[in-house]
Amino acid sequence: MDNLITTKFNDVGLNINAFIQVFVPKFSLVLGAIFGGIALLLNTFAGRLGGRMNKIDEIIGDD
C-alpha cells in the first residue's frame, strides 16, 4: 500500500493540490460506501426490532 501511494504521488508530482484533487474524491466515495452500509444495517435491525416490539405490544395489549 505504501508503494502504491508513493508511486501515485510521484506520478502526480510534488504538487499536493493535484494529489488531493485526484485522490480525495476516491477516498470519500469509499468512506461514504462503508458508512452508508453501516447505516443501512443499523436501520434494518432497528426497523425489525421496532416491528417486533410493536407486534408483541399488539398481542399482549395493555387495555
Query: What does the pLDDT look like over 16-29, one tens digit per residue?
Result: 777 788 888 889 99
Q: Write the DSSP assignment of 24-43 as a string of letters.
A: HHHHHHHHHHHHHHHHHHHH
Cell 469509499 belongs to 30
Q: Give the end-to-end CA distance of the chain in Å, rounded to a whole number.
A: 63
Q: What is the pLDDT of residue 37?
A: 97
Model confidence pLDDT, tens digit, residues 38-56: 999 999 999 999 888 887 7
Grid coordinates representing 55 are: 407486534
How many CB atoms sit inside 10 A of residue 43's CB? 10
Q: Which domain holds residue 6?
A: 2-60
What's the structural domain count of the chain?
1
Provide the whole-model pTM: 0.57
